[in-house]
Structure formats: C-alpha cells, structure tokens
Amino acid sequence: MSNVKYPKKLSLATTPTPLTPLKRLQSKYGGPLIWLKRDDLTGNLLSGNKVRKLEFILAKALADGVTAIITCGGVQSNHCRATAFAAAQLGLRCHLLLRGDQPQGAYSGNVFLDQLAGASLSFHSPLAFRQVDELFANQKALLESEGHNVLCIPVGGSDGMGVWGYINAVDELNNQVRHQKINVKSVVCASGSGGTQAGLVLGAKLHKSPFTIFGINICDDAAWFENKITQDIRDWAKGFANGNCTQGVFGDSPDSIVSLSDIQMIDGYVGEGYAKASDALMNTISEVARLEGVVFDPVYSGKAFNGLLNEIAKERFNNETDLIFIHTGGLFGLFPYAERF
Ligand SMILES: *Cc1c(COP(=O)(O)O)cnc(C)c1O
C-alpha cells in the first residue's frame, strides 16, 4: 500500500490488467523472461494505455462541469479513439483534430471507430498541425458558441493530470511483482508523447519500486523525450504539492523525488519515422502472434517490443532473470497495415 494521495478518478478501465510471462519466446530467443503487463486489455473500445490517463483527466473535467472535449493525434491515434468512446460513455461532446489526410473511401481502424462513437473529426496537414494550439483555439471557440464548456486535452493525454494514470499503474505492478515473487530490475515501455513513461518514473519513485523504467522512443529522439517528460513531471508537480509533499519534486537536489537521470531512453528504433514500419518489425509482430497469441501494433507497442528483442540480442539485460514490458495496446492501429503481412 502506498500513502500517495490521488486525485479523483473515474472507473473506465478494466484493472488490474494481467501480468503474463512469454515463456515460448524465451525458449526460442534466450535472455530474461519477459512478462507482459497487459494494458492492451484495459477494455475493448477503451483498450490501451490512454484510458488510464483519461480516468483522471475526465474525472476532473466532470467535476469542472465540462460538456465537450477536444483532443488531437494522428489519423490512427489510439488516444483519440479511447477519448471518443470515453466521451460517448459519459455523454460528452467530442471533437478530434487529426493530423494527416482524410482517408479515401471507407474509414478503417481507429478513425472508423472514432466516427462510430459519434465524435466529430477534422483533418489537418502536418504543416497546419505545427500550429495545433491555434486549431484547438478555433475549435474551442466554435463549441463555446454552441454553449459548451470545453476542455482541450493535449496529444496522448500527456499532461500533469494524465500522468496520474501510470503512477496508479505502478501501484498495481508492485503488488503483482510481489505476489509473483519475481525479481524485476527493468520495466520497458513504448514512448510516444511521454506521459506513460513520466507516470511510470514518478510511480516507481513514489511507490518505492525495485525497478528502473526504460522508454523506447517510437518517434523523435532521446533528447526530445527527456525534455517532454521533464515538462510533464513539472506540470504534474504543480498539482501534486497539495496534501502530498511540498518540496523538491523534480531536480538534482538530494531531496527531489525525480531527477533527469531517472528518465532512461533507449533510442535507435524509430526507423524511418513515426508510424513507418520496417519488414523486420512486421516479422516480429507475426512471430509473437504465432508464438504467444499476443498482437502488437507497428506504430507503438510492436516497434518498442522489436527494439527490446534487439537489445536482448545485444545482451543488454543479461544480468536479469525477469523483465516487464508494458503492452500499451494499439490493436486497431494494426488493421491499416494488413497489406504488409
Ligand atoms: C499512445 C501510445 C503509446 C505511447 O504512450 P505515451 O504516453 O504517448 O508515450 C504507446 N502505445 C500505444 C499503443 C499508444 O497508443
């Protein structure tokens, strides 16, 4: 048990999610036994890591009397899909700002589901998306003119409130590690907008976990994530002081909870860019599906898992018997890649 005082949280996710070992994969490839934290099973339409953030973000939104939400992401954003369904479940109006071209013909994957959930969608070029604050502001003004009280949620739900989702998840993980009696030194996740890793890093400190958090970036580079995760932690710290702790949340002083050295990135697996997938990555996805009955997506979880297998092959984790990989979901994002298999 931990004595961290959490803010209000909705119950949207199916938790705790299982922690399951990939034994056949280990027999074939050696290295430490990988345990999957099955956050792909947090729900069906709400599945993946974003719902854990939304439980906190939307609890505050409801308390604040919000009636409409706007968020943004790629056309196949899992975060947008989870937000659209959470909004539908809560009776909120939802608009999604999507980066990329409007798909030709019938929509598939996440964007199909966004539409089904009744979210309104707008598509914007990567160039227009550089002024995403302006896109948010315009849409907000429009919804306000219809009488709505609007909340804008940043990309990936990664902000000071969303970070609570994975602080909470570490509580869950600690209990599972203790219960399974496994010796885990490393927990690895895919990092896209940084909020999951920020929460895990904070959670590991606050709940005194025995493990280190590693993020495998699926876009940008290590420096970008160090900066982004630092920002998310600072944003979180502003709301944390109340009733929890008042000093040294982030910094290099000995009494600070986290420092820059706690943000550990494994860089080198972005490939040709965000959502660009190599044949080797597709092979890993097929292999894991057949060997273990688990499906990863090429944009996030699969790209990071492929990176993890490469690191294991390079003997990075040779001194460890067990490690944990957070399966952050992404199943619906796989379908637009069907032709590649
Ligand atoms: C968004 C997402 C991530 C990355 O999480 P961040 O908190 O944005 O870093 C990883 N996996 C999947 C499937 C996602 O949708």
Please write the tens of the pLDDT for every residue from 219-258: 999 999 999 999 999 999 887 765 565 456 887 777 788 9
**Mean pLDDT over residues 36-61, rounded?**
98
Exposed (0-12), middle (13-18) or buried (19+): which is 1, by Cβ within 10 Å?
Answer: exposed
The Å distance, Cα 328 to ligand 1 centre, comes to: 6
**Is the shortest distance between the CB of 298 and ligand 1 below 6 Å?**
no
Rounded to an integer, what distance in angstroms lies between the CA atom of residue 71 and that of residue 82?
11
Please write the tens of the pLDDT for every residue from 175-215: 999 999 999 999 999 999 999 999 999 999 999 999 999 99
The Å distance, Cα 197 to ligand 1 centre, comes to: 9
The Å distance, Cα 158 to ligand 1 centre, comes to: 10
To the query of whether residue 261 is one of the catalytic residues in this protein, the response is no
Rounded to an integer, what distance in angstroms lies between the CA atom of residue 52 and that of residue 297?
19
Q: pTM for the full model? A: 0.97
Q: Which ligand 1 atom sits closest to the C-alpha of 301?
A: 11
**Is the shortest distance between the CB of 109 and ligand 1 below 6 Å?**
no
Written as six digits, the tokens of 262 are 């706690």
Atom 4 of ligand 1: nearest residue by CA position:
192
**Is the shortest distance between the CB of 49 and ligand 1 below 6 Å?**
yes
Omega within 30 of 0 (cis) for the link into 16: yes
